[in-house]
Amino acid sequence: MDFNFTEEQTMIRDSLARLIREQYDFETRRKVVASESGWRPEMWAQFAELGLLMAPFSEEDGGLGGGPIDAMVVMEEFGKGLVVEPYLPSVVCGGGFLKRGSDAQKEEYLSGVMSGEMIFAFAYAEPKGRYNLADLETTAKKDGSGFVLNGHKAVVIGAPWATHFIVTARTSGDRRDKNGVTVFVVAKDADGVSTRDYPTVDGRRASEVYFENVSVGAEAVIGEVDNGLPLVELVSDEAIAALCAEACGAMKVAHAMTVDYSRQRKQFGVPIGKFQVLQHRMVDMFMEYEQSISMTYMATLKLDEDEVTRKKAASAAKVRIGQGGRFVGQEAVQIHGGMGMTDELAVGHYFKRITMIDSEFGNVDHHLKRYTDLSSADMAAAAE
Amino acid sequence: MNLDFTPEEVAFRNEVREFIRENYPKELEGMGTREDLTREQFLAWHKVLGKKGWSAPSWPEKYGGTGWTSTQKYIWSEENARVDALMPLPFGVSMVGPVIYTFGNEEQKERHLPGILSGDVWWCQGYSEPGAGSDLASLKTTAVRDGDHYVINGQKTWTTLAQHADWIFILCRTDPNAKKPQEGISFILADMKTPGIEVKPIKLIDGTHEVNETWLTDVRVPVENLVGVENEGWTYAKFLLAHERSGIAGVARSKRGVERLRNIATNELVDGEPLLEQPEFARKVSQLEIDLTALEFTELRTLASEAAGKGPGPESSILKVKGTEIQQRLTELTLEAVGYYGAPYAYGMEADGNNDFGVGPDHSNYAAETYFNMRKTSIYGGSNEIQRNIISKMILGL
């Protein structure tokens, strides 16, 4: 067992932290979020220059030989800086699918992800599917050697900035069947693809994405036709681990801001941080944060274990971070008092980001149920 | 970062597992969560480990520790928890031992450490007083220098298992005029056979005799029993509490407890179906296990940073708070799981040589008693509220 970071990982953390400190202060972020495009492509280019976009990929694939721990380091720093650029959708999700794709797909797309020239978004959610990754109304019907896609994907984070989508669609079976799910890569400018773009409450951009008779070739399929769900679950678990890391970064800052504020804000003639009732609440926030970090490490380190262990680990982390994040976020606002409610202070923006993380890739209830179902399946298997 | 065991660690685990299987005393099997054991039962495994040299894995090697890495220590506690082993009591190995080897003189180390390691000498803790609980520094027991003796007067309380103890470590006030209550306290060792020490039992809500009042009347203790420097005892007291807290998380034991809870809830039926298949109950078990995982990895991170050279610091307060919360929730869910068979009182009712007293399913025995007993955990070792004060002050700087 080893809980140390490699030199490369420490370097990534330090250089990214410096970049964010120097070029991603809260006021700058506010302007970017309010701007027309809502992001800075030039920032993305700097992330590429730092090697962040290549970090989690193997050297054979042209990456820097890292893995999920490198992505975790990046996402934690993103969380601290409330960075809006689409590392999770493009590098963790897009890259996560593509590195398991064909050689041709790696050559055509993964290199684009790593250079930063291509931006991917992951179109998995649907208006009526909630958190069930197999509950798909989007269809891909066989048409000659290729497929024709029809459907509506919901709240696709980063889609307005994307050049390509990873799309899940049903190629056979009934609406919620585990079999019959297939993963496609689709260019955003393909005929029949349209989007309705909007800002999210936490400063990012997303789209409703519509596919209307979109034709793709057989080479657009990532993995196996009809048997894409295991891959979708795997990449989603990787995304969960990365999201947890982002949440930890945001929780750390929200907590630090709160402790700091409690030292400065005076009421009844003393700093409010002198009140034990607030001290203990800030300690509880601290303990939630520490345990969230522990769970993030745990889930990240178990991504390469067997399927049940990996899924349980990801769900356990998502449950704990959902609960801890809610507590830290709400208490950060509460202890800031009225100031915590203002748009002017950063703390409310951290609260908003932490809150929205819970609903990405399944919330607390979803993952508590998933964990429970996996545990009973585990026990039944052990009993046989 | 990785979670893998090296081949050497796997070999170590096998060695440990084999040793426990061959040497764990048969008469202790299934007794690991009981509170009503004899002195011999409490010490049986400790003595085996003492002979093997494994009774104090966290001590420095030169004083009799094992020199194990933090991963090996993790394996060690996991393997012991698998059989619910009754581990060495903390008073010697985790509390006074580290104080003696860190702050004591050579003579004290030579005299006291071997008995702690072997399990021949039983220590108890003279900290709390009727008027000094969470506010420990307000303690009133005095030690007055008289020639080459200290004369100790006062009353200690909550002295765990003092009825079996050979020695006691006592926090005494040696300078009544010190400016702050934390100053003027000394850390003194005393033989329990010294005239003037009287132990009176306190019966707890689970019906067991686990703690005592310890009365100290003109107890004459030789000055060489002072540890470290006179009036510096508060420093050693805090050091001891930090050591006490680091083992207090009880992760491996709680993991075993969750396993036991799952088995109970599989056998308890609701409308003919296992209780564990009721979504309400199943999710409570899941939540407990998830929170335990968070604690486990927090402890592993703490161990890793300790291995990197830092001693147990204020972070160990997190382990104390979360560890005891989980122990309590575990016993709470276990009591909930056994339903009305939690009610029969089990202690002292079993037939001779038989752990089972024959009322209700075996798994329901002691469920309520243990639940009641475990409420102590968020109170002792510095209450969980005091732990929050420590984190607030030492880590948050408030």
Three-state secondary structure readout of B254-268: HHHHHHHHHHHHHHC
Examine the domain organization and report whether B79 and B139 are in the same domain: no
- Structural domain range at position A337: 230-379
Examine the domain organization and report whether A75 and A155 are in the same domain: no
Mean of the pLDDT values across residues A320-336? 98
Distance (Å, rounded) from C-alpha A259 to C-alpha A245?
21
Q: How confident is the model at residue A88 (pLDDT cuts 50, 70, 90)?
A: very high
Put simply, the answer to whether B398 touches A274 (Cβ < 8 Å) is: yes
CB-based contact (8 Å) between B267 and chain A?
no
Put simply, the answer to whether A372 touches B318 (Cβ < 8 Å) is: no
Q: What is the CATH number of the domain that holds B320?
A: 1.20.140.10
Distance (Å, rounded) from C-alpha A292 to C-alpha A253?
13
In a domain, A239, yes or no: yes
Nearest to B187 by CA among B241, B147, B134: B241
C-alpha separations of B247 from A5, B17, B41 in Å: 26, 21, 21
Residue B87 is given by DSSP the state P
Examine the domain organization and report whether A161 and A28 are in the same domain: no
In a domain, B104, yes or no: no
From B279's Cα to the closest Cα of chain A, the distance in A is: 8
Which residue among B78, B79, B232, B244 is the active-site one?
Answer: B244
Q: Inform me whether the pLDDT recorded for A49 exceeds 90.
A: yes
B368 φ/ψ sector (left φ>0, alpha ψ -120 to 50, else beta)? alpha
Q: How confident is the model at residue B351 (pLDDT cuts 50, 70, 90)?
A: low
Are the beta carbons of A254 and A216 closer than 8 angstroms? no
In a domain, A1, yes or no: no
A residues 212-271 closer than 8 Å to B (CB): 259, 262-263
pLDDT digits (tens, 9 = 90+) for A252-285: 999 999 999 999 999 999 999 999 999 999 999 9
Out of A259, A375, A379, whose CB is closest to B396? A259
Mean of the pLDDT values across residues A86-91? 98
B residues 376-395 closer than 8 Å to A (CB): 385, 388-389, 391-392, 395
Distance (Å, rounded) from C-alpha B117 to C-alpha B57?
10
CB-based contact (8 Å) between A73 and chain B?
no
Q: How many domains does chain B have?
A: 3
Are the beta carbons of A219 and A183 closer than 8 angstroms? no
Q: How many domains does chain A have?
A: 3
ipTM of the complex: 0.94
Dihedral angle at the C-alpha atoms of B55, B59, B63, B66, nearest 10 degrees? 60
Cα A210 to the center of its chain, rounded Å: 22
pLDDT digits (tens, 9 = 90+) for A53-71: 999 999 999 999 999 999 9
Examine the domain organization and report whether B251 and B388 are in the same domain: yes
From B382's Cα to the closest Cα of chain A, the distance in A is: 15
Examine the domain organization and report whether A215 and A237 are in the same domain: no
Instruction: Compute φ and ψ for A215, nearest 5 degrees.
Output: -90, 130
Q: Which residues of B touch A254 (CB under 8 A)?
A: none
Distance (Å, rounded) from C-alpha A55 to C-alpha A78?
15
Examine the domain organization and report whether B196 and B268 are in the same domain: no
Examine the domain organization and report whether A12 and A100 are in the same domain: yes
Nearest to B75 by CA among A1, A271, A258, A45: A1
Cβ-in-10-Å burial (0-12, 13-18, 19+) of A268 comes to exposed
Residue A250: what residue type? A
- Of B168, B196, B231, the one marking the end of a domain is B231
Examine the domain organization and report whether B196 and B328 are in the same domain: no
Q: With residue A182 as reference, give the H or E element that holds it.
A: strand A181-187
Q: Which residues of A touch B295 (CB under 8 A)?
A: 291, 294
Q: What is the CATH number of the domain that holds A336?
A: 1.20.140.10
Q: How confident is the model at residue B350 (pLDDT cuts 50, 70, 90)?
A: low
pLDDT digits (tens, 9 = 90+) for B60-82: 999 999 999 888 998 999 999 99
The first and second tokens of residue B83, run together, are: 């059989």
As a whole-number percent, the residues of chain B with pLDDT over 90 amount to: 80
Measured between its terminal Cα atoms, the distance across chain A in Å is: 31
Distance (Å, rounded) from C-alpha A340 to C-alpha A336?
5
- Of A182, A210, A227, the one marking the end of a domain is A227
From A135's Cα to the closest Cα of chain B, the distance in A is: 22
CB-based contact (8 Å) between B282 and chain A?
yes
pLDDT (0 to 100) of residue B352: 52
Q: Which residue of A has its CA nearest to B316?
A: A287
Q: Is B201 helix (H, G, I), strand (E, B) or coil?
A: strand
pLDDT (0 to 100) of residue B245: 67
Examine the domain organization and report whether A303 and A276 are in the same domain: yes
For the beta carbon of residue B295, count every other beta carbon within 10 angstroms: 24
Mean of the pLDDT values across residues A136-153? 98
Q: Which residues of B touch A1 (CB under 8 A)?
A: 2-5, 70-71, 74, 300, 304
In a domain, A2, yes or no: no
pLDDT digits (tens, 9 = 90+) for B94-115: 999 999 999 999 999 999 999 9
Q: What is the CATH number of the domain that holds A18?
A: 1.10.540.10
- Structural domain range at position B80: 7-88
Q: How confident is the model at residue B383 (pLDDT cuts 50, 70, 90)?
A: very high
pLDDT digits (tens, 9 = 90+) for B267-322: 999 999 999 999 999 999 999 999 999 999 999 998 888 777 776 678 889 999 99
In a domain, B348, yes or no: yes
Distance (Å, rounded) from C-alpha B193 to C-alpha A139?
84
CB-based contact (8 Å) between B325 and chain A?
no
Does residue B244 have an active-site annotation? yes
Nearest to A43 by CA among A23, A26, A28, A63: A23
Examine the domain organization and report whether B57 and B141 are in the same domain: no
Examine the domain organization and report whether B193 and B275 are in the same domain: no
Count of pairs with CB atoms under 8 A, one residue in A, one in B: 120
From B243's Cα to the closest Cα of chain A, the distance in A is: 19
Out of A1, A286, A301, whose CB is closest to B395? A286
C-alpha separations of A107 from A85, A100, A184, B358 in Å: 24, 12, 16, 71
Out of A276, A287, A372, whose CB is closest to B286? A372
CB-based contact (8 Å) between B309 and chain A?
no
- Of B63, B88, B113, the one marking the end of a domain is B88
From B256's Cα to the closest Cα of chain A, the distance in A is: 15
Put simply, the answer to whether B388 touches A262 (Cβ < 8 Å) is: no
Q: Which residues of B touch A274 (CB under 8 A)?
A: 398
In a domain, B103, yes or no: no
In a domain, A348, yes or no: yes
Q: Which residues of A touch B304 (CB under 8 A)?
A: 1-4
Put simply, the answer to whether A298 touches B293 (Cβ < 8 Å) is: yes
For the beta carbon of residue A246, count every other beta carbon within 10 angstroms: 27
Q: Inform me whether the pLDDT recorded for A50 exceeds 60.
A: yes
Examine the domain organization and report whether B223 and B323 are in the same domain: no
From A128's Cα to the closest Cα of chain B, the distance in A is: 24
- Of A97, A118, A139, the one marking the end of a domain is A118
The first and second tokens of residue A82, run together, are: 């409330």
Residue A220 is given by DSSP the state G
Q: Is B274 helix (H, G, I), strand (E, B) or coil?
A: strand
Which of A69, A263, A285, A294 is most worth mutating to test chain B (most B CB atoms within 10 A of its CB)? Answer: A294
Examine the domain organization and report whether B225 and B271 are in the same domain: no
Q: Which residues of A touch B305 (CB under 8 A)?
A: 3
Q: Name residues whose C-beta falls within 8 Å of residue A254's C-beta, 6 or more positions apart in sequence.
A: A328, A329, A332, A347, A350, A351, A354
Mean pLDDT of chain A: 97
The first and second tokens of residue A116, run together, are: 């930063």
Distance (Å, rounded) from C-alpha B173 to C-alpha B106?
24
Examine the domain organization and report whether A250 and A371 are in the same domain: yes
Q: With residue A260 as reference, give the H or E element that holds it.
A: helix A229-264
Examine the domain organization and report whether B368 and B268 are in the same domain: yes
Are the beta carbons of B99 and B90 closer than 8 angstroms? no
Examine the domain organization and report whether A139 and A202 are in the same domain: yes
Least trusted range by pLDDT, from A130-144, B61-75, B357-371:
B357-371
Out of B300, B389, B391, whose CB is closest to A1? B300
For the beta carbon of residue A218, count every other beta carbon within 10 angstroms: 11
- Of A210, A227, A244, the one marking the end of a domain is A227
Cβ-in-10-Å burial (0-12, 13-18, 19+) of B148 comes to exposed
Measured between its terminal Cα atoms, the distance across chain B in Å is: 33
Q: Inform me whether the pLDDT recorded for B356 exceeds 70.
A: no
Distance (Å, rounded) from C-alpha B123 to C-alpha B194?
14
Q: How confident is the model at residue A14 (pLDDT cuts 50, 70, 90)?
A: very high
Out of B70, B298, B391, whose CB is closest to A294? B298
Out of B74, B297, B315, whose CB is closest to A298? B297
Half-sphere CA count of A84, side-chain side, radius 13 A? 31
Put simply, the answer to whether A316 touches B293 (Cβ < 8 Å) is: yes
Out of B74, B294, B385, whose CB is closest to A320? B294
- Of B176, B202, B231, the one marking the end of a domain is B231
Nearest to A80 by CA among A290, A343, A291, A256: A256
Q: How confident is the model at residue B136 (pLDDT cuts 50, 70, 90)?
A: very high
Q: Name residues whose C-beta falls within 8 Å of residue A158's C-beta, 6 or more positions apart in sequence.
A: A86, A88, A89, A90, A119, A121, A204, A205, A206
Examine the domain organization and report whether A238 and A337 are in the same domain: yes
Q: Inform me whether the pLDDT recorded for A339 exceeds 90.
A: yes
